[in-house]
Chain A
Amino acid sequence: MTAVRSDYVRPVDFRHGYVDMTHGAGGRATTQLVDELFVRAFDNAWLRQGNDQAAFEIGAGRIVMATDAHVVSPLFFPGGDIGCLAVHGTINDVAMSGARPLYLAATFVLEEGFPLADLRRVVESMAVASREAGVPVITGDTKVVERGKGDGVFITTTGIGVVPPGVEISGDRARPGDRILVSGSMGDHGVAIMSLRENLTFDTTIRSDTAALHGLVAAMISAVPGIRCLRDPTRGGLATTLNELARQSRCGMVIREQDVPVSGQVLAACEFLGLDPLYVANEGKLVAICAAGDADRLLSAMRAHPLGQDAAIVGNVVEDAHHFVQMDTSFGGRRVVDWLTGEQLPRIC
């Protein structure tokens, strides 16, 4: 008769194993996955307590909360993966209010059959991103759906932060005469992802710009506390973000094509894919609007930060009952920069 060692649990096989339905059933397998992967990777006092929620104190100021679902495909791409993206995306949404992000919550929807090795890679990347940003993941949840009902892994993260007193940043505060700034080159993330998409594979050294921007935001606020609007131009790119801000603030905008930073590689890729870089997603860039008199000071503060080295003043807020975003083309004409319609469609002839 063989003796069964008490409390022995065979470790999760992260090298050859796959997610199965038991990992989401709430039983031992679930707890084991949580302990051996999530708690270990994100390690902090809240997770170690093992509660279904995390309790924490928050200092004075307005609390900001944001949530973001991440469904990127492919899961791994040049410059990042869904894990670090899920951390950066939500930190940035919180930070665009001027807030200091404090804590994150994360929900994983796993597909049956997803390799545990890939899951570990994603979670460890998330843990690194969260540590680098100084924003811990303090609570979370894991669910498993049947094969074919997900796409490997979907991650939803929710973030909480606090806005320092005196900071009033909101998308409806742009005023005619204000200046529009961007923190760096546009379109890197979208092109990096597209370079790997099915039947589009092309060689490029473009890497996703995915990054947590709260450090840059803090530097900007300390230079210009009166920043009016901040937003990260993710899906839909700069064009969509400016249209959102123009609509919220009930004004128009005019940007100058030659002042919008776009890398040569992104331009070239967009050219042959029939895309406009103004509509391509970013994950580590922001748009800022401030009073004209503050613009140079804000620009210097941005350029002094590693994530804002290529920052530029790209245009002005103007009065316009139609809330058009327009662009003076480098060719000498003027055109509308409209909302993104449908998906980005390539030209066919």
Chain B
Amino acid sequence: MKYIDEFRDGGLARGLASSIAQEAAPRRAYHLMEFCGGHTHAIARYGLADLLPANVRMIHGPGCPVCVLPIGRIDNAIALAARPGLILCTYADTMRVPASDRSSLLKAKARGADIRMIYSSADAVRIAEENPTREVVFFAIGFETTTPPTAVAILDAQQRGLRNFSVFCNHVVTPAAISNILESKDVRELGTLPIDGFVGPAHVSTVIGTEPYEYFAEEYGRPVVIAGFEPLDVMQAVLMLVRQLNEGRAAVENEFTRAVTREGNAKAKALVAEVFELRRTFEWRGLGEVPYSALSIKEKYRAFDAEARFDVTYRSVPDNKACECGAILRGVKKPADCKVFGTVCTPDNPIGSCMVSSEGACAAHYTYGRFRDAAIVAAQPASAAAP
């Protein structure tokens, strides 16, 4: 397939792998966080860990939009869907996210709620137009990639004079989450989370550009390499990070030049600025309350704001005690460190959100990589378990 195969070439990958192995200094460790779930998925799906030397370790970040949605927001969406006559439109990945009382949107749908899985925000507007007597709410989630389409949906609904369409806005912003991680105790005080550099998001950066990351490079001294979602992109970015670290540099570099510029997409940014404003604070699963990390709909478009229209009140709900999603989303723990991973928590019966989306660290590891854990267990002699 033209333009895809080129980025999945095994020969090139082996070349990059040997460059990384040669250039990575054997005496030091390289802890690289891939912020974005798209990278987490690519790393797992193509088995990239097999191609990296042992001292180059990838740490999965919180950039999976489904994973970071807190339980309380899912509860809100289920409550909205339970309103008589209301149609809730949602991207499919949110359907299975566990909510309070063992519920989920999927279970609410089975109980009779009218929940429609859509592929595009435009589908939600179309459904509203086709059902003029019913309230249609679009459950909007995601990082900067999915925000402009939501803005377009609101402007489009306004232009069409739709009075039955509104958006339950849960859009979050990337830089605030990166700051939160770099400011966390784990990184600054405890040292439990060594992060030497970041693989920066692909699609998010096509919108916001590379400029917002310059602060992290300058202020925190961490190199950032923006990378595409193809496996070769990730390998190339890892090599670029290793080189920067070897040279003692901390700059923002762009591996994904075929799609990302320094300024980003001006039109998309203008659309977002027209419709949304920063929330003072927003709860993230794993990170807790993060100031100025999410968007709400501006007063000017209040008519399309489901939170105002249906008087949605947020109630924070703690995660399941056994679930380590919080620590995994912060990069402090690995999926296999969680006691319920692969036992009671599996993609078919997720306890935590990281096991839901294919971009979640746990789901990616379970689906593609868990044979590595099995190999470790199998390699240990039985006596090793004894004290």
Contact = CB atoms under 8 A, between A and B. Distances in A.
B378 interface: yes
Contact of A348 (B10, B96, B142, B378): B142
B46 A349 contact: no
A341 B10 contact: no
Interface in A102-141: none
A333 B50 contact: yes
Q: Which 8 A-B pairs have the closest CB atoms?
A: A333-B47, A341-B347, A335-B368, A333-B50, A331-B46, A348-B91, A349-B145, A345-B92
Interface in B37-94: 37-38, 41, 44-51, 65-66, 91-93
A199 B91 CA distance: 13
A73 B334 CA distance: 41
A237 B203 CA distance: 29
Interface in B94-152: 95-96, 106, 118-120, 123, 126, 141-143, 145-146
A348 B347 contact: no
A332 B91 CA distance: 32
7 contacts: A267-B4, A271-B1, A331-B48, A336-B368, A346-B119, A349-B38, A349-B65
Given A268-B1, A271-B1, A341 B348 contact: yes
B253 interface: no
B65 A348 contact: yes
Contacts of B374: 322, 324
Contacts of B48: 331, 333
B74 to A, nearest CB: 15
B1 A332 contact: no
A333 B51 contact: yes
A349 B357 CA distance: 11
A200 B122 CA distance: 12
B367 A334 contact: no
Given A271-B1, A333-B48, A342-B96, A347 B371 contact: no
Contact of A333 (B9, B46, B347): B46
A333 B49 contact: yes
A332 B4 contact: no
Contacts of B17: 332
A329 interface: yes
A226 B179 CA distance: 63
Contact of B118 (A199, A322, A330): A199
Given A322-B371, A345-B358, A349-B65, A330 B347 contact: no
A274 B120 CA distance: 14
B1 A336 contact: no
A268 B17 CA distance: 27
B35 interface: no
Interface size class of B (residues with CB under 8 A): 35 or more
B285 to A, nearest CB: 16
B123 A199 contact: yes
Nearest to B365: A336
B83 to A, nearest CB: 23
Most buried by B among A200, A329, A338, A349: A349
Contact of A336 (B65, B204, B367): B367
Contacts of B348: 339, 341-342
Given A264-B1, A332-B10, A345-B93, 15 more contacts: A199-B119, A324-B374, A330-B10, A331-B10, A331-B48, A332-B51, A333-B50, A335-B47, A335-B371, A336-B369, A342-B95, A342-B106, A346-B119, A348-B92, A349-B359
B371 A336 contact: yes
Interface of B: 1, 4, 8-10, 13-14, 17, 37-38, 41, 44-51, 65-66, 91-93, 95-96, 106, 118-120, 123, 126, 141-143, 145-146, 203-204, 231, 347-348, 357-359, 363, 366-371, 374, 378
A348 B93 contact: yes
Given A338-B367, A347-B38, A332 B50 contact: yes
A267 to B, nearest CB: 5
A269 to B, nearest CB: 10
B106 to A, nearest CB: 8
A79 B329 CA distance: 45
A349 B50 CA distance: 26
Contacts of B126: 199
Contacts of A271: 1, 4
A3 interface: no
Contacts of A338: 347, 366-368
A341 B37 CA distance: 18
A241 interface: no
Contacts of B41: 347
A78 to B, nearest CB: 20
Contacts of A345: 92-93, 95, 357-358
B367 A330 contact: no
B193 to A, nearest CB: 24
A200 B120 CA distance: 10
B358 A347 contact: yes
Contacts of B106: 342
A343 interface: yes
A341 B345 CA distance: 13
A200 B46 CA distance: 27
A199 B123 CA distance: 7
A1 interface: no
B370 A336 contact: yes
A321 interface: yes
Contacts of B371: 322, 324, 326, 334-336
Nearest to B4: A271
A336 B204 CA distance: 28
Contacts of A348: 65-66, 91-93, 141-142, 146, 357
A157 B120 CA distance: 37
Contact of A335 (B8, B45, B146): B45
